[in-house]
């Protein structure tokens, strides 16, 4: 293949996508950094705005109907080359205080925040502070010899470490950042090598925790503080942070997560930490029990901030061009993916693993992004680099047809049916 093309599409043309934002599937080897935003080849007026993406279009009507049927609460946003095409907000961020969801509402990201950790590592790599071929033991002590000596940073970021996910204490409710941090470090060191490094793994939690520990070892600061300064701060993501449970309770711009109960009611997972949790597994699924999200995972973000993050990937704000390409480049071929979003596979012609991202070829174009699900919350950001679109879905109910919403977004943007 010509290094300056992707399936016959000229690389120089692809560099004009700057203005793309953030959402939930993921793209392959598509350059994310280069020319300034707005340098894409011009299209006839209105030709690059599919009718289904516009206000009143098929996607807008679909989400509105879900909200009317109490099947969606949150924010959806579509941005094209830096301009908002569709922005809708539904439902309540805080039912008790009667605060409605709006563009400035921050939602729990769950796994949709994991790519921030990969970006942090790549920032250090481009500064010469780490090497992707370095092993865990180069930076961290206390791991089993076979992990310390064989598992590399590349293995961790690409989901090929061969590690498992250690068992969690599902009954524990954390009371401070320090307590959460100490637990996560100890938990990660309990990981075991269950297959040879280089073997694809299935959502191994240690693959997220260990890179965060490396960021801390190299920078001398916490993962949370590093990402807030060097990613969120650089991108102008002023409504995005790793908020603590007390902040979640008092900050009116953070959406509360509402968990559906067996009797059909919903409970505020933040105010009622143990409500609706008759067994440890259910309690362990409550996102509020963690006090703050584990290093390497989660966080809270607004829809416009995720758009800003996508812009920053495209204009060199957070990663130089080669490292932005490395971040989203295809590493491992996947079979049909469900991404934790339901029983149906993502509607992709081909799917691959990038660094903490799935990247998919859909209807002749790459889609880049990540999705996450927690009890009472859903989050998805997708970047469509060929056409300059970004899609964001953020919600604070857990009983929504999340996979279908993502598919409808993809249909609206790509024309896929």
Any domain includes 182:
yes
Any domain includes 339:
no
Which run of H or E residues covers position 118? Answer: helix 115-126
Q: Hey, how many other C-beta atoms are within 10 angstroms of the C-beta on 164?
A: 18
d(CA 406, CA 297): 21
Specify the 3-state DSSP secondary structure of 392: strand
For 88, the domain range is 51-334+346-414
How many structural domains comprise the chain?
A: 1
Instruction: Show the low-confidence residues of the chain (pLDDT under 70).
Output: 1-47, 275-283, 336-347, 417
Any domain includes 211:
yes
pLDDT of residue 287: 84
Any domain includes 12:
no
pLDDT of residue 281: 60
Which run of H or E residues covers position 5? Answer: strand 5-6
Any domain includes 16:
no
pLDDT of residue 364: 86
φ and ψ of 324, to 5 deg: -65, -40
pLDDT of residue 47: 53
Any domain includes 296:
yes
Any domain includes 171:
yes
pLDDT of residue 23: 33
Q: What is the pTM of this model?
A: 0.87
pLDDT of residue 27: 34
pLDDT of residue 40: 32
pLDDT of residue 30: 36
d(CA 16, CA 29): 15
Any domain includes 285:
yes
Whole-angstrom CA distances from 325 to 290, 319, 320, 329 are 33, 9, 9, 6
CB of 13 within 8 A of CB of 41? yes
pLDDT of residue 192: 95
d(CA 134, CA 406): 36
**CATH number for the domain harbouring residue 287:** 3.40.710.10
């Amino acid at each position: 293949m010509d290094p300056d093309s992707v399936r016959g599409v000229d690389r120089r043309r692809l560099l004009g996508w700057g203005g793309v934002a953030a959402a939930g599937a993921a793209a392959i080897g598509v350059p994310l950094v280069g020319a300034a935003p707005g340098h894409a080849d011009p299209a006839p007026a209105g030709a690059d705005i599919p009718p289904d993406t516009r206000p009143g279009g098929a996607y807008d009507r679909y989400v509105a109907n879900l909200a009317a049927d109490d099947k969606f609460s949150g924010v959806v946003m579509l941005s094209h080359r830096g301009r908002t095409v569709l922005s809708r907000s539904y439902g309540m961020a805080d039912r008790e205080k009667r605060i409605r969801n709006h563009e400035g509402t921050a939602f729990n990201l769950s796994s949709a925040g994991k790519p921030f950790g990969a970006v942090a590592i790549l920032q250090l790599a481009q500064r010469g502070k780490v090497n992707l071929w370095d092993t865990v033991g180069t930076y961290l002590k206390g791991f089993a010899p076979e992990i310390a000596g064989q598992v590399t940073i590349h293995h961790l970021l690409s989901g090929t470490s061969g590690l498992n996910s250690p068992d969690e204490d599902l009954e524990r409710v954390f009371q401070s950042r320090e307590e959460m941090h100490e637990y996560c470090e100890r938990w990660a060191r309990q990981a075991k090598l269950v297959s040879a490094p280089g073997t694809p793994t299935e959502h191994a939690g240690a693959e997220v925790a260990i890179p965060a520990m490396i960021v801390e070892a190299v920078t001398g600061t916490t993962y949370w503080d590093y990402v807030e300064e060097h990613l969120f701060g650089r991108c102008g993501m002023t409504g995005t942070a790793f908020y603590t449970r007390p902040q979640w309770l008092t900050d009116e711009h953070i959406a509360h997560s509402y968990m559906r109960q067996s009797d059909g009611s919903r409970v505020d997972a933040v105010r009622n930490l143990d409500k609706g949790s008759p067994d440890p597994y259910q309690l362990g699924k409550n996102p509020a029990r963690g006090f703050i999200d584990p290093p390497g995972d989660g966080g809270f973000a607004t829809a416009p901030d995720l758009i800003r993050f996508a812009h920053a990937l495209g204009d060199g704000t957070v990663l130089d061009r080669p490292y932005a390409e490395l971040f989203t480049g295809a590493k491992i071929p996947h079979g049909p993916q469900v991404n934790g979003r339901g029983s149906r596979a993502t509607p992709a012609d081909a799917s691959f693993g990038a660094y903490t991202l799935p990247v998919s070829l859909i209807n002749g174009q790459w889609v880049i992004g990540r999705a996450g699900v927690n009890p009472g919350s859903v989050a998805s950001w997708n970047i469509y680099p060929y056409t300059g679109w970004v899609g964001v879905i953020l919600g604070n109910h857990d009983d929504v047809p999340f996979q279908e919403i993502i598919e409808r977004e993809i249909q609206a943007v790509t024309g896929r049916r």
